[in-house]
Amino acid sequence: MIYLDNSASTFIKPKEVIKAVNDSLLYFSANPGRSGHKASIKSAMKVEEIREQVANHFNTPTSQNVIFTNNCTNALNIAILGNVKEGGHILCTENEHNSVLRPLEHLKQLGLIEYSIAYQQNPHGITLDDIKKELRHNTYMVICNHISNVNGSICDIDAIGNYCKNNNLIFLVDGAQSCGHFKIDIQKSNIDFLTIAGHKGFYAPQSIGCLIMNDKYKPNPITFGGTGTNSLELIQPESFPEKLESGTISTPLIMGLGAGIDFVEKNFNEIRNKLDDLTTYLNFELEKIGIKCYTEPENSFGVIAFNIGDLDSGEVASILNEKYDICVRGGYHCAPIKHKALGTLSQGAVRVSISYFNTFSEIQRLIYAVKQIKKHLK
């Protein structure tokens, strides 16, 4: 099997991640911080060690600003719903996933906010000018998907973050597709909230994400429950991270995330270079055989979207799976506005997403399969 659906979830995990999860089940299975015995304290200390690791990786001022979540969607919901300002306006971009669009639409339907969408004028991605065109007098938050999960379009988060800081706008960055592939410094880029999906660029298990906060804004909780602190009180604690971490957090997944971050930090240049090489090669070869590609040739971030003639993207993905044992994703990738902008609402797009563990020969086999599908289409 050739697995090229890494934007949905990485399939091959580093041995270090597998070992960390296994070790957690053997040695760290006590509920972290929920009891005073040594097994619980041992688990809690391991969790805090990894919280500190995440804080250092993204340069947040304190590890208390790292909130472990079930996934990136959960983190985005906390940032959006936990900072809602009634009567305000939120600006997002054409690249947003439904994990942003649906919370915004929910708030709009409740009559709490309005939101609008910035479309990119530059084929490479969203710029500050695209954002500034859509701002209103009551805009209080700007949300940017750093790297589009559909075609790899990039957002200029440095310029936008600096503008948001100078104009007192909350800046939320969805880093689901970029974290692990980019070095992100939330203080340098003036990011107020960064969300990550551990099972993608960090090769961690599924169902572990983070909300990483800078110091200026702190959201209200959207989930309430036990935190292991202030148990006699019926109100949520005010201290972070407890305020936003109700219920038992997953030590095995957190340890897997920590190992994944270690792996990425040790191999960062190799990962970037390999993604660059394989993405550029695939894009070039698809263009050579006349395939409609929606990813710019200069884009080397590991995500390429294309279509073969008028074939439905889901049908192409099914042929690649059944006949050639190649896993890609067809359809709309939970990003309807992006497909509207690309003009692909009628057929979706075939998305290839590459990881460090893919090989040159696998990409060659994909190109061969695409050639055969196109040949039979004629």
C-alpha span between 231 and 146 (Å, rounded) = 39
Answer yes or no: are the C-beta atoms of 250 and 209 closer than 8 Å: no
Q: Which pTM was predicted? A: 0.96
Answer yes or no: are the C-beta atoms of 302 and 280 closer than 8 Å: no
Q: What does the pLDDT read at residue 324?
A: 98
Q: What does the pLDDT read at residue 229?
A: 75
pLDDT digits (tens), the chain, 378 positions:
999 999 999 999 999 999 999 999 999 999 997 788 999 999 999 999 999 999 999 999 999 999 999 999 999 999 999 999 999 999 999 999 999 999 999 999 999 999 999 999 988 899 999 999 999 999 999 999 999 999 999 999 999 999 999 999 999 999 999 999 999 999 999 999 999 999 999 999 999 999 999 999 999 999 998 887 777 778 888 889 999 999 899 999 999 999 999 999 999 999 999 999 999 999 999 999 999 999 999 898 999 999 999 999 999 999 999 999 999 999 999 999 999 999 999 999 999 999 999 999 999 999 999 999 999 886
C-alpha span between 97 and 149 (Å, rounded) = 8
**HEC assignment per residue over the chain:** CEECECCCCCCCCCHHHHHHHHHHHHHCCCCCCCCCCHHHHHHHHHHHHHHHHHHHHHCCCCHHHEEEECCHHHHHHHHHHCCCCCCEEEEEECCCCHHHHHHHHHHHHCCCEEEEEECCCECCEECHHHHHCCCCCCEEEEEEECECCCCCCEECHHHHHHHHHHCCCEEEEECCCCECCECCCCCCCCCCEEEEECCCCCCCCCCCEEEEECCCCCCCCCCCCCCCCCCCCCCCCCCCCHHHCCCCCCHHHHHHHHHHHHHHHHHHHHHHHHHHHHHHHHHHHHHHCCCEECCCCCCCCCEEEEECCCCCHHHHHHHHHHHHCEECECCCCCCHHHHHHHCCCCCCCEEEECCCCCCHHHHHHHHHHHHHHHHHHC
Q: What does the pLDDT read at residue 378?
A: 65
